[in-house]
Structure 1
Amino acid sequence: MTAIPETEALPATATSARRVALIVAIAFFMQLLDSTIISTSLPQMGASFGVPAVAMSIGITVYMLTMAVFVPLSGWLADRFGARNIFLVAIALFTLASLACGFSENLTQFVAARAVQGLGSALMTPVGRILVLRNASKSELLNATALITWPALFAPVVGPVLGGFITTYLSWYWNFFINVPLGLIGLALVARFIPGDREADPKPLDWPGFFLTSLGLACLLYGLERIAHPEDGLRPTVLLIAAGIVIGWLAVRHLRRAAHPLLDLSSFKVLTFALSTLAAGTIFRMAINATPFLLPLLFQVGFGLSPVDAGLMILAYFLGNLGMKTVTTPTLRRFGFRSVMVVNGVIASASIMACGAISPQTPQALVVVLMVIAGLSRSMQFTALNTLAFADIDAAQRSSAATLSSMLQQVAMLFGVAVAAAILNLSQIARDRPALDLADFRIAFLAIGVIGLVAALRFLVLPPAAGAEVSGHVPAN
C-alpha cells in the first residue's frame, strides 16, 4: 500500500510539524475535556431531564461504546478518503453533537447526541495522530508528540474542576457549548494549514475484521467500565470481559490471515512499538491512568476535603505535568529512551505508592511537592511512551499503528480505573467496613504503584540506542 508521492514528500520542517501538532492538540483537548467534564454535571442534568442522576451514566456508556465500534475503522477511512478530510469530519461531528447535547430536552435526545459525539471522537484521535506522523520527520517527532500529549495530561485534571465551576455558576449545558468555539477554530485551522493526502491505491474494507474488532473492543471496554460499579452485578461483567477476550482472539486470528486486513498487525513485530503499546506500555498506562481517578477520591473521601479544596490540591499535579514539558526533549536527547523510561518509571511508581502514605496530618507543603513530582514523572513517561511507539514505524504501517495505539490506550485507561475501583471495593469488603476510608486508599495506591514498577523495569529490554533517530541520543560505546 503506497501513498501518493506528495504524502511522502510533505515539508517536514520544524515549523510545519509544530503547527500541525498544535492544531491536532487543540482538537484533542476539546475531545478529552468533554470526556472528563461531564461527570460533574450528571446530577444537574438528571434533574433537568426528570430522571435519576444514575440514569445519566448511559450517556457516558453510549459515548464509550460508539468510540469502541468506530475506532478500528479510522485508519482505513483516513487512507481511503484522506486523513485531513476525515479529521475535518471528526471535528465537525463532535462540534455539532456538542451543540445537540447542550440543546437536549430529554434523555433520549441526549443519548443520541452523545452517540454522534462518540463517532467524532473515535475518528479524531487516531486520525489526528496519523496527521502528525505524516507531517513530522523523525527528528521532529519528539517535539510534535510532546505537543499532542499535553491535552491527555491537562484535561483529566482540569476537566472535573472546570465542570464543577460551570455547573455551579452557569448551567450544565455550557459544559457542551464551550466545545463549539474550540471546534470552529479547529476546523478553520485544519482547512487552512494541514495539507491533504490519501492513499494512491486504498485497500478494500475488511468487513469481517471490522465486525470482530469492533465487537470485541466494545465488549471488553464495557466490561471493564462495569468493574467500577459492582452494584450492577458480577456475572454480566465477567461475561462481557470473557466475550471481549474471545472475540478479540478471533479478530487477531482473522487479521493475521486476511489478504487485506483492516489492521496491519506487523507493527507488533517492531520492538519499540510492541513494548510501548502492548506490553509494558499498556500496563504502565494503566497505573498512570488510575492515579487521576484515585486522587480526587483520596482528598474528598479520605481527607474529607471539599470538592473545591480537592481540586486545588490536584492543581499541583497538573502543574507538574505542565512543568516537565520544557525539559522532556533535552532529557531524552541526553539520556535516551531506555534510561529515561526505566528511571522515570521507577520515580513515577514510587510517587504513586507515596500517595498512599499521606494523611490529613501530612503537611500541606509536602503533599503539594508530592503532587508536583507525580505530575512531572507522569508527563515525562507519557511523552516518552507516545514518541517511542512510532520511532521505528514505517510509512506503510502508520495508519494501522496509530489505530492500534488508540485502541490499546482506551483499554489501558479503562483498565486502570477498573483495577483501582476493584481494589478499593475489595479492600473495603475484606476489612468489613461500611464505607471507604484512608486504609483502603493506601492499599490501592500501593498496589497500583507496584504494578507500575514492574512495568517500568520491563523497559530494560530496550537496546540503549532505541529511538535514537528520534531523540538524537548518542549512546556511549
Structure 2
Amino acid sequence: MPSGLTRIQLRILRKALRYRWIYRRCKSVNLNYRASPKATSPLNPGFSMSNSSLPTSSVTRWLPYIVAGTFFMEYLDTTVIATALPQMAHSFGVGPNALSIGMTAYMLALAIFIPVSGWVADRVGSRTVFFSAIVVFVIASVLCGLSNSVAEFTAARLLQGAGGAMMVPVGRLIVVRSTEKSRLMQAISTITWPAIAAPVIGPPVGGFITTYATWRWIFLLNVPFGICALVAVAMLVPNLRGAERKPLDIVGLVLSGAALTAILYGAELASQPGSSPWIAGGVVLAGLVVGFAAVRYASGHPHPLIDFSTLKIPTYSVTVLTGSLTRIGIGAVPYLMPLLFQIGFGLSAFKSGLLLLASALGNLGMKALTTRILRRFGFRYVSIVAVATAGIFTIICGLLTPLSPLAWVLIVVFVYGVARSMQFSLLATLAYADVGAPQMSAASTLWSAAAQMTIGLGIAYGAVALRAAALLNGETASAEGMHFTLDDFRLAFLFAGLLTLLSVWGYFKVARDAGQSVGGGSMRQNVPRRGS
C-alpha cells in the first residue's frame, strides 16, 4: 500500500479512474461555461441567456406547463366573472350590461400593455418580468374582491390587465423561442389547454361560490395559483434578454394604445343604455383612423413597437385578420350564455354554471384529438368546418327556451364547445407555422395583442348585440338598465353567429398545404394514393 493513502482513499481513487469519462465530461462542460459568459438561444440567435439560466432539455419541457398555469389563472378569472355577473350587478346597484365595462377594461389593459411586454422582457429579463407580473396580477385580484362600485371594480381590473399583459405574452415568447418547429404543435397545444380546462372548473365553482357565499371570494382563487406559479418561475424559468438593445418606440406605443383604447371604448359605449350610437360609432371610427396612422408609422420606423411586416406571411396573416373576426363572433357567446340561463331561464348562478359545464367538457374533450385531426385533415379543411359549426350552433343557442329538453340544451352547448376548442387551437398553432426565428418576437407580440383585443371586442360585441336586439324588440331602458327577454337573446345570438359565419370566407383562401412545417396534414400525405 503506498504511504500516505488509507484504504478508503484507495477505493475512492479506483472508482474515479473507473468512471473517468464522467470527469472528462464535467471538465468539458466547465471549460465551455467559463469561455462563454453569455450564450445565445440556438433557435433564436438574437436572444441572449446568462449562464446561470441556460435552459436544459428537461427545463424546456416544463416551460409550456408553467406558461399554461398562468393562462389557466387568467382564463379561470374571466370564466368565473361571467357566471357571477347578475349577482355582481345587484351588489353594485346596476344592470348586468353595465358591468361589461369592467370586463372590457381588463382586455383593454391587455391590449395596451402587451405590445411593450416584449421590449421590457428583452431589457430586464423574461424571468424578472414574468415574476413581477404574477405578483401584480394576484394583488389586483384581491382588490377586485374588495370593490364596492363599478368604478372601483373597473380600476382594479385595469391593474389586473396590466399584470396579465406582462405575464402571459412573455411566457408565450419563452416557449416559442425555445421550441423546435417539429415540437411546436405539441407545445402550443399545451399552452392553449387552460382555455379548455378553466371553463370546466370555472362555471360550477363560480356558481357555487356565488350562490352559497359571495361573488367576492371568486377572486381569491387566483391566490393559490399565483403562489404556485411564482415558485415555478423562480426555480425553472430562464432569465432571457435580447442581445440587441433596441430603443423604445414611444410614438408607436402612444399610437397603438390610443387606437386600441378608442376602439374598445367605443364598442363598450355602444353597449351602455342611454348612450348615443352615433357618438360610439364616432369613437370607434377615430380609433380606426389612429390605428391606420400607427400602421403607416410602423412601416417607416427601423425598430417599431409593433411590426406589421409579419402580416406578409399568409398563414400568419389569416390567423390575425380573419382569426380576429372569428374570435369576436365566438367570443360573444361566453358573455351571452350565462345571461341567457340566469335571466332568460331564471336559473341560479350555480345551475347556470352546471349547464355551461357541457361547453367546457366539449372544449376539454377536443383537446386530446386536436393534434391528430390537424395532422390527418390539414389546417384549411379543419378551419372551414370548425368555424361553420361554431357559427351554426351559436345561432341554435339563441333558439333554446326554458321548455327545451335538457339533453338538447347540453348537446347544443357541447358541440359549440367542441368547435370553439378546435378553432382556437388551430389559430394558435398555424400562427407560427411559417414564421422564422428573426420575426418570432414581433409575430408573437402582434398576435398576442390581436388575440386579447378580440376577446374584449367579443364581450363588447355581445353586449352591443343584446342592446340592439332589445331596441329592435321595443324595449326601453329603466334606471337599472334594460330588462332582456328571450326574444332579445335570440337576436343577439343570431348576430354573433352571422359574424362567425362571415369569417368562413377568409379560410377558403388558406393554402391546402398550410402548416406542413408543424405537421399539418402530414398523416394524409403519408397515405398512398390509389393506383400508385
Return the TM-score normalized by structure 2: 0.80
| Structure 2 residue corresponding to 1:246, chosen from 252, 277, 289 | 289
The answer to whether structure 1 residue 298 and structure 2 residue 340 are counterparts is yes
| TM-fit CA distance, 1:205 | 0.6
Is 1:12–1:137's contact at 8 Å kept on the other side of the alignment?
A: no
Q: Partner of 2:116 in structure 1?
A: 73
Is 1:284–1:451's contact at 8 Å kept on the other side of the alignment?
A: yes
Equivalences for 1:63-462 in 2 at 5 Å? 63-102=106-145, 113-155=156-198, 158-278=201-321, 280-433=322-475, 435-462=483-510
Is 2:76–2:198's contact at 8 Å kept on the other side of the alignment?
A: yes
Q: CA separation in 1, counterparts of 2:84 and 2:390?
A: 31
Is 1:156–1:292's contact at 8 Å kept on the other side of the alignment?
A: no
Q: Partner of 1:6 in structure 2?
A: 41
| TM-fit CA distance, 1:111 | 6.0
Q: CA separation in 2, counterparts of 1:205 and 1:348?
A: 40
After the TM superposition, which of the residue ranges 63-72 and 247-256 deviates more from structure 2?
A: 63-72
Unaligned runs of 5+ in 1: none
Is 1:321–1:378's contact at 8 Å kept on the other side of the alignment?
A: yes
**DSSP 3-state at the match of 2:315:** helix
- The C-alpha deviation readout for 1:335-385, integer Å capped at 9, x for no partner, is 111111112222222222222333333321122122211111110111001
Amino acid of the residue matched to residue 298 of structure 1?
Answer: L
Is 1:78–1:399's contact at 8 Å kept on the other side of the alignment?
A: no
Quick one: percent identity of the two aligned structures? 44
Amino acid of the residue matched to residue 319 of structure 2?
Answer: S
Is 1:424–1:440's contact at 8 Å kept on the other side of the alignment?
A: yes
Change (3 A) 1:158 1:433: farther
Amino acid of the residue matched to residue 294 of structure 1?
Answer: L
**DSSP 3-state at the match of 2:378:** helix
- The C-alpha deviation readout for 1:388-425, integer Å capped at 9, x for no partner, is 01111122222222221122123322332333333333
**Cα RMSD, aligned residues only:** 2.9
Amino acid of the residue matched to residue 182 of structure 1?
Answer: F
After the TM superposition, which of the residue ranges 196-205 and 59-68 deviates more from structure 2?
A: 59-68
Change (3 A) 1:323 1:156: closer
Q: CA separation in 1, counterparts of 2:520 and 2:225?
A: 34
Is 1:321–1:379's contact at 8 Å kept on the other side of the alignment?
A: yes
Amino acid of the residue matched to residue 439 of structure 1?
Answer: D
**DSSP 3-state at the match of 2:332:** helix
Unaligned runs of 5+ in 2: 1-37, 45-53, 477-482
Amino acid of the residue matched to residue 315 of structure 2?
Answer: T
| TM-fit CA distance, 1:46 | 8.3
After the TM superposition, which of the residue ranges 176-185 and 414-423 deviates more from structure 2?
A: 414-423
Q: CA separation in 2, counterparts of 1:438 and 1:108?
A: 30
Is 2:361–2:417's contact at 8 Å kept on the other side of the alignment?
A: yes
After the TM superposition, which of the residue ranges 27-36 and 299-308 deviates more from structure 2?
A: 299-308
Change (3 A) 1:220 1:173: same
Q: CA separation in 1, counterparts of 2:85 and 2:346?
A: 22
The answer to whether structure 1 residue 21 and structure 2 residue 64 are counterparts is yes
Change (3 A) 1:101 1:200: same
| TM-fit CA distance, 1:156 | 5.3
Is 2:111–2:450's contact at 8 Å kept on the other side of the alignment?
A: no
Is 1:17–1:144's contact at 8 Å kept on the other side of the alignment?
A: no
Q: CA separation in 1, counterparts of 2:152 and 2:499?
A: 41
Amino acid of the residue matched to residue 120 of structure 1?
Answer: G
Q: Partner of 1:466 in structure 2?
A: 514
Is 1:37–1:175's contact at 8 Å kept on the other side of the alignment?
A: yes
**DSSP 3-state at the match of 1:33:** helix
Q: CA separation in 2, counterparts of 1:43 and 1:472?
A: 43
- The C-alpha deviation readout for 1:208-233, integer Å capped at 9, x for no partner, is 11111111111211222223223344
| TM-fit CA distance, 1:16 | 4.9
**DSSP 3-state at the match of 2:41:** helix
Q: Partner of 2:17 in structure 1?
A: none
**DSSP 3-state at the match of 1:198:** strand
- The C-alpha deviation readout for 1:297-349, integer Å capped at 9, x for no partner, is 23233333333322221111111010001111111111111111112222222
Change (3 A) 1:232 1:162: farther
Amino acid of the residue matched to residue 5 of structure 1?
Answer: T
Q: CA separation in 1, counterparts of 2:436 and 2:281?
A: 38
**DSSP 3-state at the match of 2:274:** helix
| TM-fit CA distance, 1:100 | 4.4
Amino acid of the residue matched to residue 6 of structure 1?
Answer: S
| TM-fit CA distance, 1:98 | 2.7
Q: CA separation in 1, counterparts of 2:406 and 2:435?
A: 45
Q: CA separation in 2, counterparts of 1:467 and 1:312?
A: 37
Is 1:157–1:292's contact at 8 Å kept on the other side of the alignment?
A: no
Is 2:379–2:426's contact at 8 Å kept on the other side of the alignment?
A: yes
| TM-fit CA distance, 1:60 | 4.6
Is 1:43–1:52's contact at 8 Å kept on the other side of the alignment?
A: no
Is 2:118–2:441's contact at 8 Å kept on the other side of the alignment?
A: yes
Amino acid of the residue matched to residue 240 of structure 1?
Answer: V
Is 2:379–2:514's contact at 8 Å kept on the other side of the alignment?
A: yes
Q: CA separation in 2, counterparts of 1:40 and 1:368?
A: 17
| TM-fit CA distance, 1:56 | 7.4
Change (3 A) 1:414 1:94: closer
Number of equivalences = 471
Return the TM-score normalized by structure 1: 0.89
